[in-house]
């Protein structure tokens, strides 16, 4: 079972944080899309385009750059998305590591199990 917990963020009244607990279950595309929708809605509410901000368009642009092969670390830097505190820990249990460039771009966050 995957549990998504929505909590109030720190940016403002409409900021949403999505906490994911997966109990060793994979996220479905529907769950991933819902998480994306929450992030996009949150960014749009806190950084409204009609007030001159880039809002959810900025987040979408970052995702598009990743989709088109822009170096992941460069995207994180460009959009100031590098985590300032504890980093995300990724454990890679695949038998064949198919994407070394991605893993290297994560700055050592990916660890082989």
Q: Give 61-111 pLDDT, tens digit per residue.
A: 999 999 999 998 899 999 998 877 777 676 667 665 555 545 555 555 555
| Nearest C-alpha neighbor of 42 from the set 12, 2, 21, 79 | 12
Do 70 and 15 share a structural domain?
yes
The count of structural domains within the chain is 2
Do 103 and 64 share a structural domain?
no
Do 18 and 70 share a structural domain?
yes
Half-sphere exposure of 6 (CA within 13 A, CB side): 12
Do 98 and 113 share a structural domain?
yes
User: Residue 101 sits in which domain range?
Assistant: 83-113
DSSP calls for 19-72:
EEE-TT-PPPHHHHHHHHHHHHHHHHHHS-GGGT--HHHHHHHHHHHHHTT--H
pTM above 0.85, yes or no: no
Do 64 and 25 share a structural domain?
yes
Q: Would you say residue 14 has pLDDT above 90?
A: no
Do 93 and 72 share a structural domain?
no
- Helix and strand counts by DSSP (H, E) for the chain: 4, 4
Do 15 and 70 share a structural domain?
yes
């Amino acid at each position: 079972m995957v549990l998504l917990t929505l909590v109030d963020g720190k940016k403002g009244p409409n900021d949403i944080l999505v906490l994911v607990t997966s109990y060793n279950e994979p996220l479905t595309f529907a769950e991933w899309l819902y998480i994306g929708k929450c992030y996009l809605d949150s960014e749009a509410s806190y950084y409204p385009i009609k007030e001159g901000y880039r809002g959810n368009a900025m987040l979408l642009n970052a995702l598009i750059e990743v989709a088109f092969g822009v170096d992941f670390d460069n995207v994180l830097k460009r959009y100031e998305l590098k985590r300032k505190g504890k980093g995300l820990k990724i454990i890679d249990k695949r038998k064949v590591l198919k994407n070394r460039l991605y893993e290297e771009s994560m700055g050592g966050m990916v660890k082989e199990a």
